[in-house]
Chains A and B, each alone.
Chain A
């Protein structure tokens, strides 16, 4: 870790802005969230379309850029249906909760270093507090309320199930996400977002080729790669994005918790999903990808990390992550719910804990002033413990799959009748005729018995 550079904001630098500066900052942060959302929807539709060799929206405005705006206006002008069975008040306010919380999370994202705005020296960040990352986590958990309340207040079965599902999903992945950040805190020694960005400033010299120094960036995404990967996966789960978009699995739950919503309320849910994506990308950039700091080749230019330029690097990284979100959505199919929960609870969670313990052990080990004998004792102890864990690890015997007859016998009384097992489906007479018409050359020859198989395939 290098020392704080001059343009690096510290915690003490926050909380002194005059009111007009605060106002400018929150408006800009708000515009950042909304703007990236509006563009993000367009971006996603275009990218997915290109990946599917379609043009995507290209009619409204240049390159179809205004499509999202028009969609929003259209949504606003649609009738807002309030179902008879709904809990009126909660149904009305639930969509706003998600959107508000997703936007609030942007308040602690560092967009850039200290700059001068109208002669006032301030950081390009709405604010920073000692528990900034916790605020992001809190916002993302509070956002769940919007979903579960919306599902519950709809007074309808599928929304209720969708809401519960997504709550179970989001809290499961919140555990994984929360644990993955522990390693970052451990390395950075702070929870403030600007502090975490500052602690990723240093890079170690990797190699020197012909006078050029190659630097490996001190990004936690590289140093703590397991944490980063876990965070990335749980960010998908947390934002309900494909392949984890189970709450809105239309094949199972219609539209999940949004089924009963229409008009702007429906759009607010969509909006909050995209804003959450933007804020998740931003926090990922902050925690793991060096925040607003430029990556290596750009840092050769000494002015890269000062002034207003970092805003550009930050935006670039966020857009890159947004692209990853879209890319994954276009590539991967949706998971089944039990696979999904298994991934969260049985893979990510123990992996996370093991990684934290390993990292802590290594750090303690490096920092301690032990005699070599004690060091070896500790190493031996760790190995023995690991062996013990491996030995006592609860293993599951594979259940023998019952044969077809057993499965049939195990069906409860009153099940639907089954056709006989050895039933041979006779080929459809129409199919036979169609094949016969196409085989004029064989007229008069013997009818082959395996013909029926082929005919069925062709029909």
Chain B
């Protein structure tokens, strides 16, 4: 008992996560102590301050390459870059979440436990202040994501996965309007997510059986040594990949995405589309690049097929969608496919291009969902595609902004969509994965069609009776929208600085 060895802990390196967890806990206390009417006023500055403080620590740690807390956590280039990206995207998403001027009471339901359609439910729909529990939940989710991308062993990764998943399940159920849809989405997400977590955990068990360890460096040693049963390795890796690809929304594990994106409150959808995707791909990068590079030849064909399937499913099904949020969901699935192309390059360029893509896509998608929150009628957001017809005449400014964002999704030059796609395809080409590049280019062209259809619809049809108005965004939404659009433009015109940063950050510590 006396030779108990305490792990050395580098608190500065862990500071971003500790700050966010602390802020989340404080947020819960605020929920408990502050009167209902004033909670939002406390929570929003608290959350933003926490995120900024965490970002400061991330920047201060730049250049650190170490493992700490008994090898459970790795702080290196990709981890810090991804943490920074998650924090910045989280700030922008938090702005959307904090918006209260679009809808009386904000985007969240006042009391989630109230039965839908009851007397109390009607009163909350009329503008009772929304549940401010959303803020601590978002902070928990973001803190979990920070840990997820920095986890250096599988168990820590699993804990982080749960920490950021559970708040998201809850957040999905909090929509103020269309509550049944929202609750259904949350339940689907929860059940499927629980399955994915179980797969992940089972994968950990098998990998532990194979390598006798759960840290990535030891797993890497075992894989390169080639000892042990291949069945355990491949089955374990496959199960791990299922867990991660589920969060990344890659086909055939994507089925939850459209429903959840549609049902969740739109600000939460933007958080999931930007931050969850970043976290999931960050973890996938670490697993594949640090833990299993020795098995590249074994997993690349399979994940390659998944990538192609993901791109195809996303592109083809996006064509058939009639709901704006579902369309963006399928677009997000297709983008997961492009990201996988970058990941599968298995070169340093693969890492840096994926990192770049994640940031570029995150800002664009948050801006796109910000526009979705603006197009509303008496029943809340008007997400049906037909309602968007003629929007260009109603509100040229927002239709123009949205057109720009759609063009960015489609990968038109001078937008971040082009540079990021160019980067991942280039990396994959350099990594010898021509087949993936070909599939990527073909599906990109396919995917341009639904985007252009929306553009045509917005500009070339006459506004009808049912065309909703575009609300004037409040300060928070305006800020989020401006940031998103500016970054999308900036990364399209001047991608150099960020590309340099990702190239420098692309080195994992093992």
Give A contacts to B, CB under 8 Å. Answer: 392, 394
Contact = CB atoms under 8 A, between A and B. Distances in A.
4 contacts: A392-B29, A392-B33, A394-B32, A394-B33
Contacts of A394: 32-33
Interface of B: 29, 32-33
A241 B26 CA distance: 41
B165 to A, nearest CB: 27
Contacts of A392: 29, 33
A50 to B, nearest CB: 50
A203 to B, nearest CB: 26
Contacts of B32: 394
Nearest to B1: A189
A392 B32 CA distance: 10
Nearest to A393: B33
Report the 4 A-B pairs with minimum CB-CB distance, sorted nearest first: A394-B32, A394-B33, A392-B33, A392-B29
A410 B33 CA distance: 29
B4 to A, nearest CB: 14
A394 B33 CA distance: 6
Contacts of B33: 392, 394
A394 B30 CA distance: 11
Nearest to B29: A392
A369 to B, nearest CB: 16
A394 B32 CA distance: 8
Nearest to A395: B33
B32 to A, nearest CB: 6
A11 to B, nearest CB: 14
Nearest to A392: B33
A452 B140 CA distance: 70
A345 to B, nearest CB: 15
A183 B32 CA distance: 29
Contacts of B29: 392
Nearest to B32: A394
A400 B32 CA distance: 21
A392 B29 CA distance: 10
A298 B29 CA distance: 54
A25 to B, nearest CB: 31
A258 to B, nearest CB: 33
A307 B459 CA distance: 99
A348 to B, nearest CB: 20
A394 B29 CA distance: 10
A392 B28 CA distance: 13
Nearest to A189: B1
B254 to A, nearest CB: 40
A147 B32 CA distance: 35
B42 to A, nearest CB: 14
A385 to B, nearest CB: 14
A171 B396 CA distance: 62
B6 to A, nearest CB: 15
B38 to A, nearest CB: 15
A394 B34 CA distance: 10
